[in-house]
Amino acid sequence: MQKNAYFRSLTIPLLLLLPQLAITVVFFYWPASQAVWQSFLLEDAFGTSTQFVWFENYQSLFADPGYFKALRNTAVFSTFVCVFSLSIALLFAVMADRQIRGAEIYKTLLIWPYAVAPAIAGVLWIFMFDPSLGMLARGLQSLGIAWNPRLNGNDAMTLVILAATWKQISYNFLFFLAGLQSIPKSVIEAAVIDGARPMRRFWTIIFPLLSPTTFFLLVVNIVYVFFDTFGIIDTVTGGGPAGATETLVYKVYSDGKGGSNLGGSAAQSVILLVMVIAMTAVQFRFIERKVNY
Amino acid sequence: MAQVTLSSVKKVYAGGVEAVKGVSFDIPDGGFCVLVGPSGCGKSTLLRMVAGLETISSGEVSISGRVVNQIEPADRDIAMVFQNYALYPHMSVYDNMAYGLRNRGTPKDEIEKRVKEAARILAIEGLLERRPRQLSGGQRQRVAMGRAIVRKPQVFLFDEPLSNLDAKLRVQMRVEIKKLQRALGVTAIYVTHDQVEAMTLSDKLVVMNGGQVEQIGVPAEVYRKPASRFVATFIGSPPMNLLPAAIDGPGIVALGDALLEARDLKQNLASGTKVEVGLRPEDIEIASEGQAGALPFDVEFIEELGATQLFHGKLAGQPFVMQAATGDVAAEARRLWISVDPDRVHVFDAQSGIRLGRE
């Protein structure tokens, strides 16, 4: 039996697909292929001559300790941001799910940070934690903690992690809340009658039932940390001090724009492209298989 | 000994809505009590208060003589079967049944013994490794029952457990639930809006309407002597005919021009008192024209039910339904003369709808 409606000719389906294809080609395939092409080229500092060098850009990239440092920074940065933003958002969502009165206000307020542009979010955190102006920085200093993200790499990393986490909590919160609300109430009640106390109920029933949401968010968060945190890093630390907060995507920018190493920068973005394709592929595979039980 | 006692149980929601308006009854040990009523009558709320899933606004619920108002659901020694089964979707059938025992720290070999035993009783031994989504509706229902019986609770609570099943399976599961409850001897409270389920399952039937109990009794009694107009029309299928009438004398009601004898009728009612007469479609007998007490019934159309036929038409100018075994009455008949056993004539107060029976 034919289940799906279908078109007899190809013209209409192609016409319907055209806008989407056009957008994908113009904004994705074309720049991506440019990047791939660029990654095989070597250009001199003044842009006067260009030479095709095969994989030389990639070779010099893998010989560069700065690249591995950026890789390590990215790993640290993304691990902390994902763990913090997911767990805090989950905690908030569980609270919001329980609360009945004023829940709407609570939810609305929690969603706001998501609407703040990354650069603005960065500026907010600079103000709060600026070693000479920031209220919170002063607080830390008065506690005897030597806080200076301008000089101390770890402090700078902490600061960008905080800012990036803060901004992502809203998004995760929304998804977790929707996930919690889609768990049938009777399943929770059955667990109550089955004698599961709240903590046990959470870990044996609610958390496993949320796992599709958690997994989806994990991938989305990794992609967020890899790419969308550029604005935060640029405003808060500019990758410094001494490259302590330079992530992979920031290095693409600083090498290409600041270092005028267009070929190397393109090679890095090609590697990032491969990474994100891999992550998305993993996500699709899992969503198809595991997510519906 | 698990006797369940409810005394003046009330549920008032924030905002002042009274869902349950003071309900009292008790269920003896091993009894099967069915709460039946239309949706919104408070039957589920009442069950959930016994379970501990809703707080009790006032009154007391006690199980085996222990007041459980302030006791957690887990500690009330009850098990509940939900309408949508509420199985844990991420656990195997085995784990679904074992979950409650594990939470209580039952030793592993004991859990295995009990789960295997329950699976054997319910004939789901082959499904223990499966996930709920791989099961049919009937199988899920069995797992939900299994989850209840492994715990060996004092009371089973059923919240419309069969309403998600198709008609055939429903009849089958109904019989199985009854058998199982008998075999285990566990007190049961069962909520349904289906009067057939209510009649067949219960030894104690509680008919509810608008947050109040309309009648409590054994099913046969509720059927034979409905305490109110509401119960009369709710229990029995097709529903009882109700006709406006007036008292004519002791034990006699006037239906328009015709007179009808009613044996269970309150004495000393003034002549002319407005009442409603209830006649069950299945209690109608065919009489002959001119026979004493025969009423004229004008047939308009006939519904075929296979073994029986429903004759729709007018009696004393009011819509009326009569049931007869197929072939007993000529299908082309336009006017029939009917009579009713005086023991099967129900009379209700026209205003309050309360049965006007002998004390």
- Residue-level pLDDT at A266: 84
Amino acid at B355: R
Instruction: Identify the three-state secondary structure at position B320.
Output: strand
CA–CA separation, A172 vs A163, rounded Å? 15
Total domains in chain B come to: 2
Q: Span A65-289: which CATH code?
A: 1.10.3720.10
How much is the pLDDT for A3? 60
Place of tokens 């009696």: B315
Closest residue of chain B to A190, computed from CA coordinates: B86
Upstream peptide bond of A241 is cis (omega within 30 degrees of 0): yes
* Judgement on whether residues B248 and B281 belong to the same structural domain of the protein: yes
Regarding whether B107 and B89 lie in a shared domain, the answer is yes
**Residue B39 domain flag:** yes
Closest partner residue to B80 (CB to CB) among A193, A208, A293 is A193
Q: Please check whether residues B219 and B299 belong to one and the same domain.
A: no
Q: How far apart are CA A95 and CA A169, in angstroms?
A: 14
pLDDT tens by residue, B138-190? 899 899 999 999 988 999 999 998 888 888 888 888 998 998 888 888 999 99
> Among B198, B233, B268, where does a domain finish?
B233
How far off is chain A from B235, nearest CA to CA, in Å?
29
Does B276 score more than 80 pLDDT? yes
Q: Mark whether B9 and B84 lie in a shared domain.
A: yes
| Partner A, chain B 20-59, Cβ-Cβ below 8 Å | 51-53
- Give residue-wise pLDDT tens across range B206-227: 999 999 999 999 999 999 999 9
- Residue in chain A closest to B106 (alpha carbons) equals A195
Domain termination site, one of B206, B233, B260 = B233
Residues B244 and B189 in one domain: no
Would you list the domain boundaries of chain A? 65-289
Torsion of CA A232, A236, A242, A244, to 10 degrees: -50
The reported pLDDT for the residue numbered B217 is 93
**Same domain, yes or no, for B202 and B217?**
yes
Nearest CB to B82; choose among A186, A209, A293: A186
Q: Mean pLDDT across chain B, nearest whole number?
A: 90
Q: How far is B212 from B206, CA to CA, in rounded Å? A: 10
- Report the relative pairing of strands B212-217 and B204-209 from DSSP bridges: antiparallel
User: B86 vs A209: CB contact, 8 Å cut-off?
Assistant: no
User: Is B163 an 8 Å CB contact of chain A?
Assistant: no
Task: Specify whether B108 is located in the same domain as B254.
Answer: no
User: Which residues of chain A neighbour B88 with C-beta distances below 8 Å?
Assistant: 187, 190-191, 205
Higher model confidence: residue B43 or residue A129? B43
> What is the mean pLDDT of the segment spanning B96-110?
91
Which pLDDT does position B113 carry in this prediction? Answer: 93
Query: What CATH number should be reported for the domain holding residue B338?
Result: 2.40.50.140
Domain finish residue from B233, B252, B286: B233
Q: What pLDDT tens digit does each residue of chain A (293 aa) get?
A: 456 677 778 888 889 999 999 999 998 888 888 888 888 877 766 667 777 777 777 877 787 888 888 888 888 999 999 999 999 999 988 888 876 667 778 778 878 888 888 788 878 888 887 777 777 777 777 777 777 777 777 888 888 888 888 888 888 998 998 888 888 889 999 999 998 888 899 999 999 999 888 888 888 888 888 888 888 888 877 777 877 788 888 888 887 777 667 777 888 888 888 888 888 888 787 766 554 44
Nearest beta carbon to residue B84 from set A184, A191, A197: A184
B269 touches chain A (CB under 8 A): no
Is A189 part of the contact surface with chain B (CB cutoff 8 Å)?
Answer: yes
Sheet holding B78-81, edge to edge: B78-81, B155-159, B187-192, B32-36, B204-209, B212-217
Does the CB of B88 have a partner CB in chain A at under 8 Å?
A: yes
B199 and B252 share one domain: no
Q: Count the Cβ atoms, other than its own, within 10 Å of residue B95.
A: 16
The whole-number pLDDT of residue A62 equals 80
DSSP-derived secondary structure for B275-313: EEEEE-GGGEEEE-TT-TT-EEEEEEEEEE-SSEEEEEE
Residue A64 to residue A82: CA distance in whole angstroms: 27
Which residues span the domain enclosing B81? 4-233
